[in-house]
Amino acid sequence: MDGAFPRDLTWFKDAVVYETHVKAFYDANGDGVGDFAGLTEKLDYLEQLGVTCLWLLPFFPSPLRDDGYDIADYCAVHPAYGTLADFRRLVEEAHRRDIAVLIELVVNHTSDQHPWFQRARRAPPGSSERAYYVWSDTPERYQGARIIFTDTERSNWAWDEVAGAYYWHRFFSHQPDLNFDHPPVFEEVLSAMRFWLDLGVDGFRLDAIPYLVEREGTNCENLPETHAIVRRIRAVLDRDYPGRILLAEANAWPWDVRPYFGDGDECHMAFHFPLMPRIFMALRREDAEPIVDILRRTPPLPEGCQWGLFLRNHDELTLEMVSDDEREYMVLAYAQDPRARLNLGIRRRLAPLVDNGRRRIELLNSLLFSLPGTPILYYGDEIGMGDDVRRADRDGVRTPMQWSSGPNAGFSTALPQALYAQPIVDPVYGYAAVNVEAQLSDPSSLLQWMRNLIRLRKQFKVFGRGTLEFVPVSNRKVLAYVRRFGEDTLLCVANLSRHTQPAELDLSAFAGAIPLEMLGYTTFPPIGRGPYFLSLGGYGFTWFELRAAPPGSAP
Ligand code: NOJ
């Protein structure tokens, strides 16, 4: 067991997380698929970017019909990505660079190719083997549960010829749900967890966690029985693996996600799903209100807990947590091309969502890195990679990392036809125009800008740990908030409009303090008791440290 990785128990609060697929990052053995060895080779890149935590998408044996979220063996790696020894080396090398490694715990469902399911469908009804999954003689049970993959699935039940019964699945029909009412299932989950924890991983993203348990007459989400399971998982971590964390994937309103933190005895982190579309909405409407509103309605968290913030990830930009009107607005604003839509969301990367607008990309990242929570970057967004809406499902945002303008984007030495997916080649976002090598040698590139921003964030614990107070502003196009932690007080101001905006900020609570602009170390006029005037260029943002005035000076 790798216990040597140094950390304080709340390390995740100061982390900068980077989400990637092993298959998409770098192919070291030239077979066309990214692998652990390739990712290990590129750890220096991540370290220089400033990343302190890797989140790896599923890399387990799988038929890959849901890109690995359909697991066929919980305690092994998919041979295309290397061996367990390669994985172990990746973890060791990451830890050597002070980079933690989070992996996926996908236990709501398995692949239908998992031996448990193959065994269950053949086992007699009433047997323990059969009871690993949720069976029914009719598709009428649990009608209160919604369908999640609305574009592909019509029911949460699928008929199994071999079993002669229906089985329950919240996602694709090839992903039968495990039955957490059957105690051996929980034991299996624990042993899979221990397997990876003993290999040194620093925590798990709990995939699809709200759906573990089903009960008649409910929507089968967020049930007390599900929370009881999360608490049992957490108790094992606290007892045997302190410092390892749980990150909940619960796509729900903040008040419904809040219980996943329990009394500090469930998850350490959870994604803030509803904030993300509201950031995009605020930008398009040039109005700070959607961000202020959702954060005002976000309950405080117990000690030792943290939100995970993100702009984009490997899935569609989900619009489940907005009203029907807001969804319609978002689709009109960001997905005019019907091919960009999937289920209830938009399958596009960050840069194309904002028409490759550099100032907008910077503005969105300034919010990601300064609002309360831990920022999570999606691979490739740090260089402004594009997507391809013509590809199936979410494949258009999962293309090879663009390392250089060389063959296969520098991702692999395989023949192009052997690649797991072709890199993006269009004139704007294609690898000839957008790649790491070019951006490393261009001091003005997005990549260099991201490195700077991350470096700055890491100098101030207040970003990851501070309180949030909104500052009253005379202009709704401007968002201003103060973050405080210990001695540090920061003021963050963002102009959501494309045009220059004036703003009068009510900073009277800070009268006497002197704002020091953090990117250029420029001292601004002291804050008085009246409105504080700022003007910001289109999509501009500024961060200030509010420093106490020298003794004797009058506000
Ligand atoms: C959530 C994952 O993010 C998504 O990619 C996957 O398809 C579903 N869970 C089902 O596992």
pLDDT digits (tens, 9 = 90+) for 241-280: 999 999 999 999 999 999 999 999 999 999 999 999 999 9
* Residue of 19, 69, 107 with the most ligand 1 atoms within 8 Å of its CB, for mutation: 69
pLDDT digits (tens, 9 = 90+) for 22-67: 999 999 999 999 999 999 999 999 999 999 999 999 999 999 999 9
Rounded distance, CA 224 to CA 259, Å? 9
* Residue of 207, 221, 393, 398 with the most ligand 1 atoms within 8 Å of its CB, for mutation: 207
Q: How far is the CA of 451 from the centre of ligand 1 (A)?
A: 29
Rounded distance, CA 84 to CA 90, Å? 10
| Minimum-distance ligand 1 atom for the alpha carbon of 314 | 5
Catalytic residue numbers?
A: 207, 249
Task: Give, as one character, the DSSP assignment of residue 309.
Answer: E
Count of CA atoms in the C-beta half-sphere (13 A) of 483: 20
pLDDT digits (tens, 9 = 90+) for 5-16: 657 899 999 999
Question: Which of 113-122, 351-360, 546-555 has the lowest average pLDDT?
Answer: 546-555
Residues 6+ apart with CB under 8 A from 334: 280, 284, 317, 340, 346, 348, 353
Q: How far is the CA of 419 from the centre of ligand 1 (A)?
A: 23
Cα 549–Cα 553–Cα 555 angle in degrees, nearest 5: 80
| Minimum-distance ligand 1 atom for the alpha carbon of 149 | 7
CA distances from 123 to 129, 227, 320, 433, 531 (A): 6, 30, 38, 56, 73
pLDDT digits (tens, 9 = 90+) for 367-385: 999 999 999 999 999 999 9
Question: Ligand 1 pocket: which residues have CB below 6 Å?
Answer: 66, 69, 106, 171, 207-208, 249, 314-315
| Minimum-distance ligand 1 atom for the alpha carbon of 313 | 3
Q: How far is the CA of 394 from the centre of ligand 1 (A)?
A: 10
Strand 203-206 and strand 341-342: the pairing is unpaired
Torsion angles phi and psi, residue 393, rounded to 5: 45, -125
Strand 478-485 and strand 488-495: the pairing is antiparallel
Give the DSSP per-residue string, 20-59.
Answer: E-HHHH--SSSSSS--HHHHHHTHHHHHHHT--EEEEPP-
CA distances from 203 to 13, 39, 104, 125, 508 (A): 14, 18, 8, 36, 43
**Percent with pLDDT over 70 in the chain:** 99
Q: What's the gap between Cα 66 and its chain centre?
A: 18
pTM above 0.95, yes or no: yes
Q: How far is the CA of 28 from the centre of ligand 1 (A)?
A: 27
Torsion angles phi and psi, residue 314, rounded to 5: -80, -10
337 pLDDT more than 60: yes
